[in-house]
Structure 1
Amino acid sequence: MISILIASCTTQKTIRLTDQTQLRFVAEYDIPHNKLFQNTTIGGLSGIDYDPEKNIYYLISDDGS
């Protein structure tokens, strides 16, 4: 029984990373406090992304209000 347990213990395979991910800072914009857009206060924006195929921006907000 012990020999079965020892034989079943193997090391994990090593994962090789072949692709390198790079980030490039594009721009930064400061939005004034209490700035309105379509009668909604802008705030709590955590991220923004652009889909060029659909010509649309996606924004993520963590503002709970």
Structure 2
Amino acid sequence: MRSAGRIRMGFFPLPLSEAQRIRHLVSFPDLVSAAVDPCVGDGVAFEAITKDAEVFRYGIELDA
């Protein structure tokens, strides 16, 4: 791992602009569903990807 990664302890958040692009590619069912993110980090990208969806969000940061 690069020294910059070690300093940041391996946390490399997905840029919000990328999360918004992903959101336009993902469709959720009309029913309430669940989404899991096993590397949620600060949750900003996960929230952006599941925005406006009837979703129960479950996230955990394994490196926390």
Q: Same fold (TM over 0.5)?
A: no
Give the TM-score, by structure 1 length.
0.16
Structure with greater strand share of residues? 1
Max Rg structure? 1
Give the TM-score, by structure 2 length.
0.16
